[in-house]
């Protein structure tokens, strides 16, 4: 994840290339129920003015995150899945009745897979990206961007060329590790359960 960016714009067509790859991620019923609201250049101020107002900005830890030339907001669309599974080839599942019929919210699963593919595609192009939560101002942000209320916001993605802030390639675009960076990474032995689930 990149936390420091140059502010130069992305090459024309970059977003479309990344989304084209992301749209090939697994999708239940090939519903592809996700949307990406993209703010570029000066338009990114609409995001930051709501989610990180001036009175909090001076003490913000990652100042060069605000230089990212793109802020992309991924949304999952539950209604698209209900509509798709009401079609004749899927109607027998009963999942076309309502979102409550789904034991797993595949709109979230699929949009997350597409988003991960988007992030990997950005990395493959030599770009930097940061997925982060939108914990303040979501209601105002939705109103500002005319987002329908039924869409589920997954977070925000800052995207652009990484700033050169460290002495090694491994520090490319890294303006300092996040607070969770020192947490131990779980080994496979704690994640894989063969045959049955084993607690502890």
Q: How many CA atoms, within 13 angstroms, populate the side-chain half-sphere of residue 14?
A: 21
pTM: 0.90
Tell me the pairing of strands 152-153 and 128-132: unpaired
pLDDT value of residue 180: 80
Going by C-alpha positions, the residue among 46, 52, 53, 54 that lies closest to residue 72 is 46
Local structure of 104: helix, strand or coil = coil
Q: Which residues contact 78 (CB under 8 A, 6 or more apart)?
A: 33, 99, 105, 107, 150, 152
Position 124 scores a pLDDT of 96
What is the fold, at CATH topology level, of the domain defined by 14-191?
Answer: NADH Oxidase (3.40.109)
Contacts of 139 (CB under 8 A, 6+ apart): none
pLDDT of residue 199: 82
Domain residue spans in the chain?
14-191
Q: What is the pLDDT of residue 169?
A: 46
Beta carbons within 8 Å of 1's beta carbon, 6+ residues apart: 129, 130, 131, 178
pLDDT on residue 40: 98
8 Å CB contact between 28 and 81: yes
Instruction: Quote the strand ranges of the chain, DSSP E.
Output: 34-40, 70-76, 128-132, 152-153, 156-160
Q: What is the pLDDT along the chain (200 residues), one digit of tens a residue?
A: 899 999 999 999 999 999 999 999 999 999 999 999 999 999 999 999 999 999 999 999 999 999 999 999 999 999 999 999 999 999 999 999 999 999 999 999 999 999 999 999 999 999 999 999 999 999 999 999 999 999 999 999 999 999 986 554 444 555 566 778 788 999 999 989 989 998 86
d(CA 36, CA 70): 12
Q: Where are the alpha helices (DSSP H) in the chain?
A: 14-22, 45-51, 54-57, 78-84, 106-124, 138-145, 188-191
Q: Which residues contact 63 (CB under 8 A, 6 or more apart)?
A: 175
């Amino acid at each position: 994840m990149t936390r420091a960016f140059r502010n130069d714009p992305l090459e024309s067509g970059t977003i479309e290339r990344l989304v084209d790859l992301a749209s090939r991620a697994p999708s239940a019923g090939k519903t592809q129920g996700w949307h990406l609201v993209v703010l570029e250049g000066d338009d990114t101020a609409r995001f930051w003015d709501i989610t990180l107002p001036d009175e909090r900005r001076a003490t913000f830890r990652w100042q060069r995150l605000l230089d990212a030339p793109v802020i992309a907001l991924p949304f999952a669309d539950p209604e698209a899945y209900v509509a798709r599974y009401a079609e004749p080839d899927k109607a027998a599942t009963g999942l076309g009745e309502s979102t409550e019929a789904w034991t797993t919210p595949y709109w979230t699963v699929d949009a997350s897979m597409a988003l991960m593919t988007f992030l990997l595609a950005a990395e493959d192009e030599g770009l930097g990206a940061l997925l982060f939560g939108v914990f303040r101002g979501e209601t105002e942000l939705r109103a500002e961007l005319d987002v329908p209320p039924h869409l589920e916001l997954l977070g925000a993605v800052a995207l652009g060329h990484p700033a050169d802030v460290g002495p090694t390639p491994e520090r490319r675009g890294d303006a300092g590790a996040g607070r969770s960076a020192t947490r131990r990474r779980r080994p496979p032995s704690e994640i894989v359960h063969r045959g049955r689930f084993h607690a502890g």
